[in-house]
Amino acid sequence: MVCSSCGEVLQRGATACINLSCADYQRPLTAEERHANRPRPQAPTAPMRSLHGSANATIACVATVAVSSAIAIPFGRLGDPAPLAPAWATVYLLIVAVAVVGAACFVTWLFIARRNLDALPSANPFWGRSWTIGVWFTPFGNAFVPALVVSDVAAETVADHDDPRRHSLVRLARWWWVSVVIATAFLYMVGDRRTSRSPLVLSMPPGTITDVTLPSPDVTQPAPIAVVLLAVACVLTSAAACIVFVRRLTALQQQRFQPEPE
């Protein structure tokens, strides 16, 4: 961009002409001039690998698991110590199968999203591509490191560090993982009457808080209805957060790889 009065070439992000002999010296640029002179991220060095297929598959699986779980957990009496009815046992197996497929689709989507960052010159992710897969199989670390890996991909998807979308996407990624951990704890409290007798110990990151121990429940009594409803609410919350996060990050990466209009 050049100054309309003296023809001086203005640097990117300039707010006024700095030519001392210019009639408009230090005159603030108009909104239109600032828009034309706004900083732009460097163009991608490679085309974007599409996220839509894995994103749509992830959303479909997550929504199916969430809705079916909200029905099956209370009506299938998952929290009762009595053996499951064969029909409900089949339903739970189908839910688990869809959840496994959804997890595979999400990991595939996350790997592609992280790989796309390598084509963005302004992106500087801390975690390598292999971590988007390996983090889920890391003992103890898979309780909290996934939040760091996912939020890293979210942060580097947005070029401007001051962009509010960057901060909101990182917060969404972290809150999604917190909701997953909480939902897992409540599901354990509901289903543990049938599957386990030993307390569950949640290992916390070193230097934070002490490990959390969930005591073994009274296996002679059904799970309290409040715990069952909280488990359902947490499952629905984590599913909604996952769907919103996948949709937002997919859309933002699509924007990054599109030519920016003048």
List, for residues 113-166, the tens digit of each pLDDT value: 999 998 888 888 899 999 999 999 988 888 889 999 999 999 999 877 778 889
Q: How far apart are CA 84 and CA 193, in angstroms?
A: 12
Co-location of 78 and 152 in the same domain:
yes
Question: Are 143 and 184 within 8 A, CB to CB?
Answer: no
Say if residue 194's pLDDT is above 80.
no
Query: What b-and-e string marks burial along 167-201, b requiring 16 or more CB atoms within 10 Å of the CB?
Result: eebbebbbbbbebbebbbbbbbbbbbbeeeeeeee
Three-state secondary structure call for residue 17: strand
What are residue 74's DSSP bridge partners? none
Out of 17-26, 81-90, 183-192, least confident range: 17-26
Per-residue confidence (pLDDT) for residue 55, from 0 to 100: 95
Co-location of 124 and 235 in the same domain:
yes
Per-residue confidence at 261, pLDDT binned at 50, 70, 90? Answer: very low
Co-location of 60 and 35 in the same domain:
no
User: Is 60 inside any structural domain?
Assistant: yes
Per-residue confidence (pLDDT) for residue 262, from 0 to 100: 47
Question: Are 2 and 8 within 8 A, CB to CB?
Answer: yes
Per-residue confidence (pLDDT) for residue 147, from 0 to 100: 93
Three-state secondary structure call for residue 2: strand
What tokens were used for 63?
């929504």
Rank 23-27, 70-74, 158-162, 205-209 by mean pLDDT and report only the highest.
70-74
Per-residue confidence (pLDDT) for residue 58, from 0 to 100: 97
What tokens were used for 104?
């595979």
Three-state secondary structure call for residue 212: strand
Q: Which residue has the higher pLDDT, 85 or 106?
A: 106
Q: Tell me, what DSSP letter sits at residue 80?
A: S
- Tokens 């009065």, residue? 5
Q: What domain range is 243 assigned to?
A: 52-256
Q: How far apart are CA 115 and CA 130, in angstroms?
A: 10
Per-residue confidence (pLDDT) for residue 198, from 0 to 100: 62
Rg over CA atoms, the chain: 25
- Mean pLDDT within 30-49: 60
Per-residue confidence (pLDDT) for residue 161, from 0 to 100: 77
Please tell me the total count of domains within the chain.
2
Per-residue confidence (pLDDT) for residue 162, from 0 to 100: 79
- Mean pLDDT within 211-239: 79
Co-location of 115 and 56 in the same domain:
yes
* DSSP-assigned states of every residue in 192-204: HHHH--SPEEEPP
For the chain, the farthest-separated pair of C-alpha atoms sits apart, in whole angstroms, at 89
- Its sign, for the CA torsion 83, 87, 89, 91, is negative
User: Is 45 inside any structural domain?
Assistant: no
What are residue 25's DSSP bridge partners? 17
Residues 6 or more apart in contact with residue 143 via CB below 8 angstroms = 181, 202, 203, 204
Co-location of 33 and 138 in the same domain:
no
Average pLDDT over the chain, rounded to whole?
80
Co-location of 67 and 12 in the same domain:
no
pLDDT 10s digits, 63-96: 999 999 999 988 887 777 677 788 888 999 999 9
Q: How far apart are CA 27 and CA 224, in angstroms?
A: 69
